[in-house]
Chains A and B, each alone.
Chain A
Amino acid sequence: MAPPHFQPHQHPQLVALMHRILERMQLDQLDALGMAITVHDKRHDEQPSVIASLGIGADFAAAQLSGIGGPVPDAFAYQVPVLSLDLWTDDRWSELTLAAMRDRAPQHESIWEQVHGAAAVPGVWADDATVVVCCTLSQPASAATVASLISYEQLVSAALITTAAENASAIADIITVLQSRGAIEQAKGALMGLVRCDAEHAWRMLRRASQEFNVKLRELAVALVEHISGAPAEQPDTGTPITPDERTREAARLMWAALSEAPLTE
């Protein structure tokens, strides 16, 4: 019984949300020439593909992934944020040059000449399925560029996880990811999506709830995510599974209910 295969491209609402996130990112990165969200699901032998982009984002991500290299493939390969001050002179990617991009996408010629920095930030949204959020700038990228992308990556990953959770078969995978990748990060992402706050605020909410209910923060995070996905945890065979007790589960349920009742503003 093969489970239905969740493909982000086939969820128009998810793709629309990704565009909204990019538009929001653009307000923070006024010197951006392009932005893209690229997903890679290694479970199904697929190549990474762009699901949402602005400006030169899609063409540039595709070019980097076609073999000439760049921040996007490196963020996928090494699962670390990648920053470049000046792409065309960066010694990490000798084939990624202005001339190469002129050849590949001459329609953007005037834009390639303006390109300087770039940043790409990876995330994990299912067992062996990753996402990279990237932007290309007319200025050198800074640590602040990366810090900004990190906060949006959490929102992007939370959206992918939540949508994938609607495919019942994916839930076991998600729980495994939550344990291996850090339940706290994921719970923060879900809270950021629900109450539309930043990572710091989500962290404070989690910490305050764990103190109020007198439960361990880590277990509260697992319970919260299990509550949202609506499935009992399928524990992996390896590692030390996190098993929230009934009291912690009740705390997670109350916390989520209280936050869900707050009016959402659009």
Chain B
Amino acid sequence: MTNSQFRMSAGEAEQPPVVTATGDIDLANVNEFSEVLNRAAADSDAITVDLSEVTYCDSAAVRALFAVAATTKLGLIVPATGAIMTLLSISGLDRVAAVVSRD
């Protein structure tokens, strides 16, 4: 997998930087995901992670998101229904991150 699966872009106006992920996030590429998250969080006290184009993610991704939320205000954009939303509510990540659902 190339880094293009995880893209970082500067936030518009006063908005925090956005990390956009696509495809599957699992043990094979979670380190790359973490690196991009950390890079985005390095110069900002808040980041937004757009997971609306993610096709699969598991415990590895949840761990990476908890880790970045430990030091940064985390916003998540997720599909309104489906496995990712379920994973967020089972784990309670939705209680410490600001979740916006997108249809």
Using CB atoms and an 8 Å cutoff, list the residues of chain A in contact with chain B.
Answer: 71, 74, 78-85, 92, 122, 142-144, 146-148, 150, 181-182, 184-185, 203
Main secondary structure on A side of the interface with B: helix
Is A146 within 8 A of B70, CB to CB? yes
Cβ of B84 to closest chain A Cβ, rounded Å? 12
Q: Across the interface, do A84 and B67 meet the contact criterion of CB distance under 8 Å?
A: no
Identify the 7 closest CB pairs spanning chains A and B, nearest first: A143-B69, A83-B92, A182-B27, A147-B70, A144-B70, A146-B66, A143-B70
B62 close to A80 (CB less than 8 A): yes
In the complex, what's the smallest C-beta–C-beta distance from B51 to chain A, in angstroms? Answer: 15
The answer to whether A142 and B70 have CB atoms under 8 Å apart is yes
**Docked CA distance A142–B60 (Å):** 18
Count class of interface residues, chain B: 20 to 34
Cα–Cα, bound, A102→B90 (Å):
26
Q: Which residues of B contact A182 (CB under 8 A)?
A: 27, 60
Q: With A74-B90, A143-B74 in contact, is A81–B66 under 8 Å at CB?
A: yes
B residues adjacent to A (C-beta < 8 A): 27, 31, 58-60, 62-63, 66-67, 69-71, 74, 87, 89-93, 95-97
Nearest chain A CB to B30 CB, angstrom units: 8
In the complex, which residues of chain B have a beta carbon less than 8 angstroms from the beta carbon of A147?
A: 66-67, 70
Asked whether B67 lies within 8 Å of A82 as measured between CB atoms, the reply is no
Residues of B within 8 A of A92 (CB): 89-90, 92
Residue in B67, B74, B87, B90 whose CB lies within 8 Å of A150: B67
